[in-house]
Amino acid sequence: MNNSVSEYNTVRPPLILKEYGRNMQKLVDYIKTIEDREKRTQAAYVLVELMKLINPNAKSAMETTQKLWDDLYIMAGFDIDIDSPYPPPDKELLNKPPQRLTYKESELEFKHYGRNILYLVKKAMELEDPEERESAVIKIGKLMKSFQSSWNRENVDEVTILRDLKKMSKGQLTIDIDRVRAENLFDSVVKERKSKQNKNRRSNGGRRRRN
């Protein structure tokens, strides 16, 4: 039995940056052993060029080149003395967990309507003309009803829509519920088109009979 067991991944030291592979890590380890600083720096430049070749997405942009040098320092465990064109990256920043994204809970309260509805509500609140604001309320109500139908097909209620709209607009956008129901103001555009088509058909049919 030979000593090749030392090459098994289970006994090898863990890779610091797996995307570069173990051979690249070995080259970094070798460069660290070069005693002459100038030769060590030259070898580092050659290695960075090699890193570009194995990363086809890497471009010659300054920030990309700097990232490669940063990766070299990282693979060297920040223990390599070379004349780099960029300063070594901050070791503490690498171990710092990413900052957690924060969301405004108030904006996520009505998820089934989507963020675009909130945007339309804010725009409608800026309208000063009463007729324009009412028209905006009706259009928003139609969208909200269509979204609510997709989210909850069994219970599409104009009262709920108006309540949610009033809450999202902080009481600034509202309309009479009896009028909404009597005139079907929140019916979808598709229903309106079908209704108009049916009226046109009935009208055309009556004309034909008269002729």
* Mean pLDDT within 192-205: 53
Out of 11-20, 23-32, 92-101, 122-131, which region has the weakest mean confidence (pLDDT)? Answer: 92-101
> Measuring CA to CA, how many Å separate 78 from each of 67, 71, 73?
14, 10, 5
* Mean pLDDT within 126-144: 92
The residue type at 116: N
Domain boundaries, the chain: 12-94, 105-188
User: If DSSP states are collapsed to H, E and C, what string results for 112-138?
Assistant: CCCHHHHHHHHHHHCCCCHHHHHHHHH
CB 120 within 8 A of CB 143: yes
The pTM is what? Answer: 0.42
CB 28 within 8 A of CB 72: yes
Q: Please, what is the average pLDDT of the chain?
A: 78
User: What's the rounded Cα separation, in Å, for the pair 207 and 186?
Assistant: 32
* Mean pLDDT within 87-104: 66
